[in-house]
Amino acid sequence: MSGPKHSPIYRLTATDPQKQRRVVSKDGHNNVRIDNVEGMVKLYLHDIWTTVVDIKWRYKLTLFASTFVVTWFTFGVIYYFIGMGNGDLDPEPGYNHTPCVQNVATLTGAFLFSLESQTTIGYGFRYISEECPLAVFTLVAQLVLTSLAEAFVTGAFLAKLARPKKRSETIKFSHLAVVTQCEGWPCLIVRVANLRKSLLIQCQLTGRLLFPYETQEGEKTLVQQTVVDFRLDSSSECSTLLLPLTFYHILDESSPLQSLTAENLRSRDFELVVTLNATMESTAASCQSRTSYIPQEIMWGYEFKPMLFASPSGRYMADFNCFDEVRPCSDPSMLSGHVHKLRLEKEYRKD
């Protein structure tokens, strides 16, 4: 494998001296705590499907198992009381007595009959009698109700397995963002890669800048949002995420980060939330992956190390050991932090 030679590479790790608050964590999870909502349990029960799909796996597995066990035991108790009311549990039943359920004389036997009926592994030793309409009605009700309950729980189980959220875990964002010069303008650049061979199509990277804001009237807002546009070459949309790509945002006059410089970067208080929306080619389902960057995770005057090389077999190889590696850029204006001043001087000389 061969690749171009470059200057020494530095792997930089961002640090958070005071553990700055974040709305979105680096792995894309929501850090906002919802509290003091009246009737939260009632609201969750109104949307029971979403609640069941969203619960953690340990609770979902418990719900899945308890659905079967509880219904088996509940209807077993019902069959037991039906037999008790019919006199099936008497020590000496009459000569012409016909039990509601044959060979069920204990609660354990009633539970086993309920289990065999619901799982359709009967009837052999225990079976229902046609002389007891109440038991027949209970059997029909059990099969209808438990089929609905099992379909609901099984569907929620499969829906959680097939959630596009899991696909987003194989979308990788660079740990750091860099600011380097591109076509005469400083650009904020992030790197994104797809870790699976299955393609992501119609990819679009968008950003939201979150920062504290104070209005002219003196009203303070803890989190103000504004849009940060990211581009790939000449378009804001990527047809396929086949190779590791770099998306950039130009820090021009229309950018909400236009006042950002190398000197004030570390003193700024903001969070840049980056979201990738894409469609999975295999299932046509949409997925979304996100991360965030704070000033300590933005490197001014650096650029990403190339990670795509040509192999001797004629194929391309993406070396993910270089995915998060950055190096100082070769532009002296970026290293000095006076890129805006130099650009104005060039425009003045042209005029």
pLDDT score for 138: 92
Q: Are 294 and 26 in contact (CB under 8 A)?
A: no
The mean pLDDT of the chain is 82
Strand pairing category for 298-300 and 177-182: parallel
Q: State how far the Cα of 6 lies from the Cα of 28, in Å rounded to an integer.
A: 33
Integer angstrom CA distances of residue 188 from 14, 252, 274, 329, 341: 16, 11, 12, 13, 18
Q: State how far the Cα of 120 lies from the Cα of 76, in Å rounded to an integer.
A: 15
pLDDT at 110 over 60: yes
Q: State how far the Cα of 83 lies from the Cα of 86, in Å rounded to an integer.
A: 5
Sign of torsion, CA 129 134 137 138?
negative
- The vertex-5 CA angle with 3 and 8, nearest 5°, equals 125
pLDDT at 69 over 80: yes
Backbone angles phi, psi at 29, to 5 degrees: -85, 150
Q: Which pLDDT band holds residue 292 (cuts at 50, 70, 90)?
A: very high
Q: Which pLDDT band holds residue 290 (cuts at 50, 70, 90)?
A: very high
Between 9-23, 235-249, 324-338, the lowest mean confidence (pLDDT) is in 9-23
For residues 96-110, give the mean pLDDT. 87
Q: Which pLDDT band holds residue 36 (cuts at 50, 70, 90)?
A: confident
pLDDT score for 330: 75
Q: State how far the Cα of 62 lies from the Cα of 142, in Å rounded to an integer.
A: 21
pLDDT score for 234: 52
For tokens 């208080």, what's the residue?
A: 269
Is residue 120 helix, strand or coil? coil
pLDDT score for 9: 42
Q: Are 300 and 334 in contact (CB under 8 A)?
A: yes
Q: Before 293, cis peptide (omega within 30)?
A: no
Between 39-48, 251-260, 331-340, the lowest mean confidence (pLDDT) is in 331-340
Sign of torsion, CA 275 276 282 286?
positive
Q: State how far the Cα of 272 lies from the Cα of 210, in Å rounded to an integer.
A: 6
Integer angstrom CA distances of residue 166 from 21, 28, 263, 323: 26, 12, 40, 21
Q: State how far the Cα of 30 lies from the Cα of 117, in Å rounded to an integer.
A: 45
Identity at 138, one-letter amino acid code = T
Integer angstrom CA distances of residue 54 from 24, 39, 213, 291, 302: 18, 19, 34, 20, 40
The overall pTM is greater than 0.85: no
Q: Which pLDDT band holds residue 48 (cuts at 50, 70, 90)?
A: confident
CA 333 to chain centre: 40
> Pick from 272, 270, 260: which is nearest to 340 by CA?
260
pLDDT score for 148: 93
Between 48-52, 178-182, 230-234, the lowest mean confidence (pLDDT) is in 230-234
> Pick from 305, 340, 318, 306: which is nearest to 9 by CA?
305
Q: Which pLDDT band holds residue 179 (cuts at 50, 70, 90)?
A: very high
What are the structure tokens assigned to 256, written together?
A: 């909400």
Q: Which pLDDT band holds residue 152 (cuts at 50, 70, 90)?
A: very high
For residues 31-36, give the mean pLDDT. 82
What are the structure tokens assigned to 76, written together?
A: 């077993």
Helix (H) / strand (E) containing 293: strand 286-293
> Pick from 324, 329, 326, 325: which is nearest to 301 by CA?
329
Q: Which of 215 and 145 is assigned the larger pLDDT?
A: 145
pLDDT score for 334: 63
Ordered by where they begin, the domains of the chain are: 40-162 (1.10.287.70), 166-350 (2.60.40.1400)
